[in-house]
Amino acid sequence: MKKIRIGIIGAGRIGKIHTDNLMRLPQAEIVAVSDLFAGPELEAWAQERGIAIVTKNSNEILANPNIDAIFICSSTDTHVPLIKQAAQAGKHIFCEKPVSMEIKQTEDALEAVRQAGVKLQVGFNRRFDHNFKRVREHVQGGTIGEPHIIKITSRDPNPPHPDYIKVSGGIFMDMMIHDFDMARFLSGSEVEEVHAMGNVLINPVFAEHGDLDTAIVTLRFKNGALGVIDNSRQAVYGYDQRVEVFGSKGSAAANNDHPNTAEVSTSEGIVRDKPLHFFLERYNEAYIEETQIFIDCLLNDKPLPVDGNDALQAERIALAAKLSISLSRPVAISDIAELSKQLSKSV
């Protein structure tokens, strides 16, 4: 049996998740792991999993001829250089989202991938979620006719650490980018125009970094459909992840996942447990499936289900949303380059 030999770059939380998921796959073999902070702890962790090479230097992975593909799980600012290097080294790439926070850089990275002829999958894990996949199947299968309205609710259970807010890229590039991808995934169409409204209602620390903690974005799609996404950095009742596609023949909607179906009826009312709280628990199966499919596509030379263009389009929508906030008006995707230029001049 042919195996895909993998190097993991970045062994933080998400790097470790991918590692454990890959280890279940008989067709995947993890050869090496690199992390800036590699030390005895990571070595023990790697040894338990039979991973031979542990290094602080990602170049050791990129230069290793026995590695077929890499997983880029390091911080966002490293994504573009690593993609370029990996592409030049002829390695296939799985990269966490976003590829970068600068459209130009993302375009450069994709160009490098194209020229090298390697494959690139981006970590939009939610496409592999059992609920959203099922909604998309109904849309694709024609159950609801032509899509008219796409609605996405996405609220985190807790705001990120203040240190992270500084470097996150802001609510649109860091958080809502998943929903921009979901909007394209569900509608089967590209976004043409974006209008964003936002506020700081949870914690003033967001304002200190020029960020928002609550936002509603409306979208106009090429196929004529309209969309709306609402984000909050803090839903005290858990991770709120719902979608709805409404169309000419009906609607398909996905509700939250709960840890159990138990329902208690007392003199106070009817109560059930909150939705799943933690994103790794909520999207556990989706993380497993995205790596399975990545390996399967490499082995069988099939097209990847989420590629560099998907990353680029979502980043463009995120940029349009940022510009819309700055300009207090709707922004066409086709205008973002020009508007960015103007805006940077005026600053």
- Return the residues of window 83-142 that contact a copy of itself according to CB under 8 A: 130-131, 133-135, 138
Binding to a copy of itself by CB under 8 A, coded x per residue (else -) over 165-194, reads ----------------------------x-
Binding to a copy of itself by CB under 8 A, coded x per residue (else -) over 198-227, reads xx-xx-----------xxx-x-x---xxxx
Would you say 15 or 238 has its CB closer to a copy of itself?
Answer: 238
Which residues are paired to 247 by β-bridges? 147, 250
Would you say 115 or 199 has its CB closer to a copy of itself?
Answer: 199
Q: Is 108 helix (H, G, I), strand (E, B) or coil?
A: helix
Would you say 170 or 275 has its CB closer to a copy of itself?
Answer: 275
Count of residues that bind a copy of itself according to CB under 8 A: 72
The rounded distance, in Å, linking the Cα atoms of 135 and 147 is 12
Which residues are paired to 153 by β-bridges? 230, 242
Which of these segments, 92-100, 117-125, 259-267, 290-298, binds a copy of itself (CB under 8 A)? 259-267
Give, as ranges, the residues between 25 and 54 that touch a copy of itself (CB under 8 A).
26, 48
Give, as ranges, the residues between 234 and 253 that touch a copy of itself (CB under 8 A).
234-238, 240, 246, 248-253
Q: Residue 273: how many CB atoms within 10 A of its CB?
A: 15
Q: Give how far the C-alpha of residue 328 lies from the chain's centroid of Cα atoms, to the nearest Å.
A: 26
Answer for which of 92, 97, 126, 148 binds a copy of itself (CB under 8 A) is 148
Answer for which of 104, 161, 222, 272 binds a copy of itself (CB under 8 A) is 272
Q: Is 165 helix (H, G, I), strand (E, B) or coil?
A: helix
Q: Is 152 helix (H, G, I), strand (E, B) or coil?
A: strand
Residues whose CB falls within 8 Å of the CB of residue 318, separated by 6 or more in sequence, listed in order: 98, 172, 173, 176, 177, 180
Would you say 44 or 63 has its CB closer to a copy of itself?
Answer: 44
Would you say 26 or 303 has its CB closer to a copy of itself?
Answer: 26
Is 347 a residue that touches a copy of itself (CB under 8 A)? Answer: no
Q: Are 301 and 115 in contact (CB under 8 A)?
A: no
The rounded distance, in Å, linking the Cα atoms of 91 and 70 is 7
Give, as ranges, the residues between 311 and 340 that touch a copy of itself (CB under 8 A).
328-330
Consecutive H or E run containing 36: none
- Least Å distance, CB 112 to a copy of itself, is 37
Would you say 90 or 250 has its CB closer to a copy of itself?
Answer: 250
The rounded distance, in Å, linking the Cα atoms of 60 and 91 is 13
Is 346 a residue that touches a copy of itself (CB under 8 A)? Answer: no
Is 162 a residue that touches a copy of itself (CB under 8 A)? Answer: no
- Least Å distance, CB 274 to a copy of itself, is 6
Type of residue found at 204: P
Cβ-defined contacts of 280-283 (< 8 Å, 24+): 280/13, 280/17, 282/239, 282/241, 282/257, 283/125, 283/126, 283/129
- Least Å distance, CB 131 to a copy of itself, is 5
Is 266 a residue that touches a copy of itself (CB under 8 A)? Answer: yes
Q: Residue 141: how many CB atoms within 10 A of its CB?
A: 9
Length reported for the chain: 347
Is 146 a residue that touches a copy of itself (CB under 8 A)? Answer: yes
